[in-house]
Amino acid sequence: MAPVTETAVRRLAPGQETLWHFMRALSPHDPGDSRVTVLDVRELTGDLDAGRLRDAAAVLTQRHQSLRLAFDGFGPDPELRLTGATAVPLTRIDLTGAAGRPDELRRLVRLERVRSFDLCSGPLWHLGLIRTAPDRHTLTLSLSHVIADQWAADLFVEDLLRVYSATPAEAARLAEPAVTLDEITALHRAVLPGGENRLRYWRENLTPLPDRSILPALDASPEVDLGDEGSRSFTFGVAVAGDLPRLAWRARTTPFVALLAAYQLTLALRTGLDRIVLGTTTLGRDAPAAREALSQFTNNVYLNLPLDPAMRLVDVVAAAGRAMSDAVGNVASFGQIRRAVGPGTPSSFLELYHGWFQSWGVPRPDPSVPGLLVRRSGNEADGPAARAPKTEATHPGTRAAHLKAGTPHVMVAPDRGGGRCIYHPGFFATETVDQLIEDYVHVVAAVVHAPELRAGELRLPSRPTAKETR
């Protein structure tokens, strides 16, 4: 394979297309300001050498070509280039004497979650090192999602600390190039080959496209901050979570799919629709080489889920399992799906589904570093939201894209015992979100403990408001 030169121009890899068009939908004039990021936060306890950590990060910029990517333009099919060596984007902050230190730490971490990137100049990542005590630091890593997913963020931190703690001989070996961009693109194409059969599958399962919002939106002020975000947590209870695997086994699927099917039921019962399309993600890293690549590999799939009121709840779950298997077997890039469902092709994946449902990734073990205790931090989840620079509608359609992106969607925890509902509080009332959660938790309990019940016999504890669009 020919080596990639520093001036090589390339196109998006197939697995990057979904994120790129999403970013353009949210911020057409500057997709780097869409704040679509991946965040990793670790607590480091021990004697940390900040200069040595910076040097380790410099090694990573040479090892992983994705860390030197930049864009030439913001069109639908942009050119990308590799930049030369640049200074490590590391910001150091000392909070050891600051008043209100915990709140300030949470604010700083939250700001990394909503960081903007200069896509044309790069780099498309940033490290923060926040000192909170003489022997304690918080390390933040923010990456533009178009170059990295959560797996890649974990890989970055593992490589960073491995180089940091290496002997000189080990460091030289670790500085060798990892999986190249050419190899990454080849891995993407192996998973997303396209072909008429896959295009036909998506054409048959996604058309007609959803044509309306299925949850009642507020009459939001023109001054609403489009970048705002809210979150509501929920649990299913010990008994339901404990019995969920048995129900999933009976339906010949996974607990995740059983919970997804329950969300389909919830939306169908709230709206009266007999067909719900749910979007979700796959890891996209089946190949061993993909697991060592610092890049964006996650793929979206969309499940066409018709609902017959006469179906037993266990059969609804089984049908969702078959739909998931079929969708994963036909996984395609956004560009391929867009061609399949044309004419009137969607501008982003936001237009392909009624509701969104996914899982947090299963966290990988924290790295072991001599002299340092490394622990994943929950600061971003626990703290008050920091105010990023306000996001305003600057292009026709931007507001609609943010409304769809801010439509309540479910993130279930890795243990499947609960999760969060993420939403935009300027577009959706907290009462609406709480009712949705109440309904969903109720439906999950029914699916698990009353699997013989017919879908048409299931009743929700709350009713949709009169504002719901019909």
Each of the 470 residues of the chain gets a pLDDT tens digit; together they read 344 445 567 889 998 999 999 999 999 999 999 999 999 999 999 999 999 999 999 999 999 999 999 999 898 889 999 998 789 999 999 999 887 788 999 999 999 999 999 999 999 999 999 999 999 999 999 999 999 999 999 999 999 999 999 988 887 788 788 899 999 999 999 988 888 999 999 999 999 998 777 899 998 888 888 888 899 999 999 999 999 999 999 999 999 999 999 999 999 999 999 999 999 999 999 999 999 999 999 999 999 999 999 999 999 999 999 999 999 999 999 999 998 997 667 889 999 999 999 998 888 899 999 999 999 987 554 444 445 555 555 565 688 898 999 999 999 999 999 999 999 999 999 999 999 999 999 999 999 999 999 999 999 998 654 344 43
DSSP-assigned letters across all residues of 47-96: ---HHHHHHHHHHHHHH-GGGGEEEE--SSS-EEEE-------EEEEE-T
pLDDT at 247: 98
Residues 185 and 11: their CA atoms lie apart, in Å, by 9
Q: What tokens were used for 462?
A: 């709350």
Token match 């970013």: residue?
A: 23
Domains of the chain: 9-188 (3.30.559.10), 193-362+389-457 (3.30.559.30)
Cβ(263)–Cβ(355) below 8 Å: yes
pLDDT at 225: 84
Q: Hey, which bits of 97-178 come out as E strands?
A: 125-133, 136-144
What are 300's strand-pairing partners? 281
Residues 1 and 61: their CA atoms lie apart, in Å, by 21
Residues 226 and 34: their CA atoms lie apart, in Å, by 10
Q: What tokens were used for 73?
A: 């333009």
Residues 251 and 33: their CA atoms lie apart, in Å, by 43
pLDDT at 135: 95
- CA distance to 4, 78, 129, per residue, from 88 (Å): 22, 25, 12
Residues 320 and 253: their CA atoms lie apart, in Å, by 9
pTM attached to this predicted model: 0.91
* Type of residue at 284: G
How many Cβ atoms are within 10 Å of 106's Cβ, its own excluded? 21
Cβ(205)–Cβ(353) below 8 Å: no
Cβ(82)–Cβ(6) below 8 Å: yes
Token match 């499947």: residue?
A: 416
DSSP helix, strand, coil percent of the chain (3-state; round to 5): 40, 20, 40
Exposure class string for 30-56: b at 16+ Cβ within 10 A, else e: bbbbbbbbbbbbbbbeeebeeeebbeb
pLDDT at 392: 56
Cβ(461)–Cβ(442) below 8 Å: yes
pLDDT at 347: 86
Of 164, 173, 176, nearest in space to 65 by CA = 176
Of 156, 199, 110, 20, nearest in space to 380 by CA = 110
Q: Which sign, positive or negative, has the C-alpha torsion 186, 192, 197, 199?
A: negative
DSSP type of residue 290: G
Q: How confident is the model over 320-343, as pLDDT tens digits?
A: 999 999 999 999 999 999 989 976
pLDDT at 5: 47
Distance of CA 28 to the CA centre of its chain: 20
- CA distance to 26, 149, 187, 303, 348, per residue, from 404 (Å): 10, 22, 31, 18, 11
pLDDT at 194: 83
Burial (Cβ within 10 Å: 0-12, 13-18, ≥19) of residue 238 = exposed
